Amino acid sequence: MSDIMTALQSFPRSQFLGGPTPLEHLPRLSEHFDVDLWIKRDDLTGLGFGGNKIRQLEFYFGDALTSGADTVLITGAVQSNYVRAAAACANRLGLKTVIQLENRVPDMDDTYRQNGNVLLGQMLGAEFMHYPVGEDEAGADQALRDRADQLRAEGRNPYVISLGADNPPLGALGYIRAADEIVTQAPEGFDATILATGSGQTHAGLIFGLRALGHKTGRVYGICVRRGPAEQVPRITKLWKSLEKLLDYPLPFDHHDMLIWGGALAPGYGQLGDNARQALADMARFEGLFLDPVYTAKAFAGLPGLLADGTIQPGQRVLFLHTGGLPALFGYQGDL
């Protein structure tokens, strides 16, 4: 076992994944874009409609159980995949969930506010609360802590999964494990890997894992889905430094691995631009697979964008990380 995987053994983990997710070739899109395109199917992590958050939550729930928690609190956008996945994981373990929904996306209709992940959260039996501001991580986290204090006064033992980048990035450990899967499934590597970068834990953990495992070939591009490169670069840097401290493991890379592209972010978080719409249509019509409007459609739009500016070259071997999020499609009926 490698040193980095040995380091992970000291962190408690609740196992929600049944095994590695598939790595599949996309032949028709490979021909369409003139690249050798592969997809890591983390939309198939299984529990509660799956997605990348299941990997992250394995470590948060491991820590929650170690602390004796009976209730988990988490915050996210109205169509957050994270909160839906957390409620599913909590139910698997017999814990209660408090979901806080933040108003991050303006001018959305009732379908957005009632369908998709919101409907699933209700089906899972979560308690809901609301936070009126969309871009206030510190305030949203504090509102969760305030609710946790109320629960303690009622005799319960709450555990808060915080949103802010100042907190220990336990979720990123799940993507060090994902990196180990990728290295095993594709030891020959890739010239480029593309994934969404939002909260940043998937992005930070994957690069940390790939480099710590000696996977030196290939560049990893984080495609902005929530904030632009000027804000995302310091966020990922902070997460890397936090991982270094958390794992007591020296950073296995330098600033050259900070590759962030913001060309698909407009018109903003949770809002579809033309290139994201095209990416969503391409994946469905060429390969029969679905992307979500908030994360993976924008992330996959990075492929033609990076080809157009010459960053990725024709004929290269490219990996796209599909992080799931498909229930959100049903909240975006009006836009789609």
Helix (H) / strand (E) element for 183: namely helix 172-185
- Residues with Cβ within 8 Å of 299's Cβ and at least 6 positions away in sequence, in order, are 194, 195, 196, 223, 225, 264, 320, 321, 323
* Catalytic residue selected from 14, 80, 162, 199: 80
- Residues with Cβ within 8 Å of 99's Cβ and at least 6 positions away in sequence, in order, are 74, 75, 76, 83, 86, 87, 121, 126, 127, 128, 129
- Is residue 10 annotated as a catalytic residue, yes or no? no
| Extended beta strands in the chain, E state | 23-25, 36-41, 71-77, 96-102, 127-131, 158-161, 192-197, 219-224, 260-261, 317-322
Rounded to 10°, the helix 201-212/52-66 angle is: 90
| Cβ 44 vs Cβ 37: under 8 Å | no
Rounded to 10°, the helix 52-66/172-185 angle is: 130
Short-list 211, 213, 265, 262, CA closest to 240? 211
Short-list 168, 39, 159, CA closest to 93? 159
- Which residues are catalytic, by number? 80
